[in-house]
Amino acid sequence: MAIREHLSGCAACRQRVADRQALGRLVRTAPYYPAPDGVRARVSTAVRRSLSTRRMLTWAAAATLLLAVSGGLLIVRSTGSVRLSSADAIVDEVVADHVRSLMADHLFDIRSADQHTVKPWFLGKLDFSPPVTDLASIGFPLVGGRLEYLAGRPVAALVYQRQKHTINVFVWPAVETTSSNALRTVHGFHVEHWTRDGMSLWAVSDLNVAELNEFARALQR
């Protein structure tokens, strides 16, 4: 009842709910791809360890968040008074998108190690130009990028590699007030957040904390 009352007077939240419903329909019609055994095992173990973790989502997330886990779809429903722009809700979204990209084998719309190929690819597809840096010289090569939809808007996803570990970096214009260099862990995945040159950047990976910190510091320079 409280959600309906809020939505009746908030056009922005109604639009966000509609966006998530559309995203849910898109995910439900997406083709099924079996996850590699290694990814399935890591995700299943991480989820079992974190069943007691309280998830905080937004008014708009009272719609459906679909997360592909262990060859199926995990449907997470939650309500609360948290704002859409809250860091906790965004962390949930970036982790869900990271896992989905691995399980559906959709890491790339553009596959290239050349930052001068990846960065121009986003022109005309977004209303901003994401910073793209190749860190191959320190062991974090750029391998490509793609478009995603997070935090109520289209965003850039940059993909990096560290040996056999994948790092997704989600980028969009900064509007939140979350402090920089914030580290969170959800279901065994570590998330680093910082702002740079008016952009909000969220790096997520199952890489160990020390190496993810090294990666984040390099991107901030």
The rounded distance, in Å, linking the Cα atoms of 189 and 209 is: 9
Do 116 and 18 have their domain in common? no
Question: Which of 103, 136, 171 is the last residue in one of the domains?
Answer: 103
pLDDT at 120 over 90: yes
Question: Which of 57, 86, 103 is the last residue in one of the domains?
Answer: 103
Do 115 and 203 have their domain in common? yes
CB 66 within 8 A of CB 27: yes
Instruction: Find the domain containing 37 and state its range.
Output: 2-103
Do 189 and 116 have their domain in common? yes
Lowest mean pLDDT among 51-60, 175-184, 211-220: 51-60
Do 138 and 39 have their domain in common? no
pLDDT at residue number 53: 42
How many residues can be counted in the chain? Answer: 221
CB 171 within 8 A of CB 185: no
Do 67 and 129 have their domain in common? no
Structural domain count, the chain:
2
Do 189 and 205 have their domain in common? yes
The rounded distance, in Å, linking the Cα atoms of 103 and 185 is: 19
* Burial (0-12, 13-18, 19+ Cβ within 10 Å), 93: buried
Question: Which of 62, 80, 103 is the last residue in one of the domains?
Answer: 103
- In eight-state DSSP terms, residue 86 is -
Do 80 and 129 have their domain in common? no
pTM: 0.62
Do 171 and 213 have their domain in common? yes
More confident residue, 86 or 134: 134
| SS3 state of residue 131 | coil
What DSSP element (H or E) covers 20? helix 11-28
